[in-house]
Structure 1
Amino acid sequence: MKSAKNVMVCVTQQKTCERLIRRGAELRDAYEGQLFVVHVTQEGWNFLGKSKEGDALEYLFEKSKAHGANLTVLRSNDVLTTLKEQVEKNNIDIIVMGEAGGDYEENSIISSLGKRLHENVIFEVVPAKLKKKVV
Structure 2
Amino acid sequence: MENIQNIMVCVTQQKTCERLIRRGAQIRDEYNGELFVIHVAKEGYHFLGKSKDGDALEYLFEQAKAYGANLTVVRSNDVLETLKKLTEKNNIDLIVVGESYEKEEKNVVRKLEKKLPKGVEIETVPVEQKEKVC
Q: CA 1:57–1:123 in 2, change beyond 3 Å: closer, same or farther?
A: same
AA matched with 1:83: L
- How many corresponding residue pairs? 130
Structure 1 length-normalised TM: 0.85
2:100 and 2:109 in contact (8 A); partners too:
no
Q: Secondary structure at the match of 1:68?
A: coil
| Gap regions ≥5 residues in structure 2 | none
Q: Which residue of 2 aligns with 1:80?
A: 80
1:39 and 1:74 in contact (8 A); partners too:
yes
Q: Secondary structure at the match of 1:87?
A: helix
| Gap regions ≥5 residues in structure 1 | none
Q: Secondary structure at the match of 1:85?
A: helix
Q: Output aligned runs, 1:93-132, within 5 Å.
A: 93-101=93-101, 105-130=104-129
Structure 2 length-normalised TM: 0.85
Q: Secondary structure at the match of 2:93?
A: strand
Alignment partners' CA distance in 2, 1:64 and 1:118: 25
Alignment partners' CA distance in 1, 2:130 and 2:119: 29
Alignment partners' CA distance in 1, 2:51 and 2:110: 33
After TM superposition, where is structure 1 displaced by more than 6 Å over at least 4 residues in a row? none
State the 1:27 CA deviation: 0.7
State the 1:131 CA deviation: 8.1
CA displacement, residues 17-68 of structure 1 (integer Å, 9 cap, x when unaligned)? 10000000001111111100000001122438x7634212211110101111
Q: In the alignment, does 2:20 pair up with 1:20?
A: yes
State the 1:69 CA deviation: 0.8
Q: CA 1:85–1:102 in 2, change beyond 3 Å: closer, same or farther?
A: closer
AA matched with 1:112: K
Alignment partners' CA distance in 2, 1:80 and 1:19: 22
AA matched with 2:62: E
Q: Which residue of 2 aligns with 1:89?
A: 89
